[in-house]
Structure 1
């Protein structure tokens, strides 16, 4: 990916590339057909395998938000920001979340977009903040007061530019600014690592750097008898494109669930992660 910034000395690191070598999944395959074409959100569209139950989540929680994310009609293709189609069909479903008209909402940006949308929609706007690659804290609370971020060389600062507003348009303009100056490297510094055994919806498999990539854990299920846990993944990618639920290539089409008992590394369709690369937002 090539979203370069003007901050001196940081452009080669910012918004780390989400491109990577091809890889295949390596988790256990289930034969059951799990895709319900008529489902309009994550929970309705994708069932859990026989013997498993969705992990309980509190109403209004981040995990509950993910399960109720709207999906585009079954069979929809992933489009890039410019309207072109994603070259690889490595997905089971497409989230009904706009990608914008600029090459901004890539991999880490998709993670930040979902996090910010949840906080914005649940009345927790004061918790919305992300760091730029140089460490500058860009918080929405300051932005919505009419302040805007100015970048001059390696200097980043706030400047009063207008009236205060809580409008969604102002919120989206804030996110575009964040997308331009934050990425996988900054996320890896502001999020905390969590053990694989403690995984929960909203956690992120993350490799910070250039190249780097980020994939969010969208949902989880558990077998009450064996204790085995399954999880579902969603990603953005480069060029900026619609957020999509990844297929598990080891299972074949129709079963996007991955197992936490994967051996060695997690092989997603377009990136490979280690067990140690699981992160969580601290708020």
Structure 2
């Protein structure tokens, strides 16, 4: 008997429990079917993003619990121990992590707040950005090169520090709600501004659309799936009217954007 218990414990260490993904945990409501996308697409990447165990609270970067627990699930989305990964940063991290997972290094690029485009490919070559007030320029020295995780994390931390909702919005393209796909966002630029991201989509035979939303917020906190006050929660319906209310922010309905392919 003791041998059996010990063997079971050993199996848990050797074969860790696989995390549920967004699409595994959240089945579409009756009369709706999930919309599927090409295997290597950003939409599929988001639908399959792993979640922390059911019932997990949202934690802040300093280890304390978020005061306003407005979530249905928490993404397995590690934070830094600094107040860096806020709403726009989390969206950019997901986008960058997707391209990194595909080894499409050349597609990882963001614009920082002064309008300077900063591609990951320059960090790969060993270049870094020198910041002086609002002025920036590239500099070359004996910086670490390559596409390894250490260089990638250094790149991301630079982006977190010098980009935000204003710079992110400048990179996005306006979209119509009827064309909503996972990876699209509602974004209001400002200081503060806010952004939420579509991470899954379902559709009825009549063409009605439901979707899941994820956000980070201020201060830096784990990214989470938002719940709402409708019978289909956490699934949202396309907003009607001029304003789209989410648990912690009201967006203009037309503040809807997507990334360029």
Give the TM-score normalised by the residue count of structure 2. 0.90
Q: Which of 208, 224, 241 pairs up with 2:189?
A: 208
Unaligned runs of 5+ in 2: 1-17
Unaligned runs of 5+ in 1: 1-37
Alignment map for 1:238-277 (pairs within 5 Å): 238-251=218-231, 255-277=233-255
Alpha-carbon distance in structure 2 between the residues aligned to 1:92 and 1:163: 40
Alignment map for 1:1-283 (pairs within 5 Å): 40-161=20-141, 162-224=143-205, 226-251=206-231, 255-283=233-261
Alpha-carbon distance in structure 1 between the residues aligned to 2:19 and 2:54: 8
Q: Relative contact order (alpha carbons < 8 A, sep ≥ 6): 1 or 2 greater?
A: 1
Is the Cα–Cα contact under 8 Å of residues 247 and 256 in structure 1 kept in the other structure? yes
The size of the alignment, in residue pairs, is: 243
How many Å apart are 1:239 and its aligned residue? 0.4
More helix per residue? 2
Give the TM-score normalised by the residue count of structure 1. 0.83
CA RMSD of aligned residues (A): 1.4
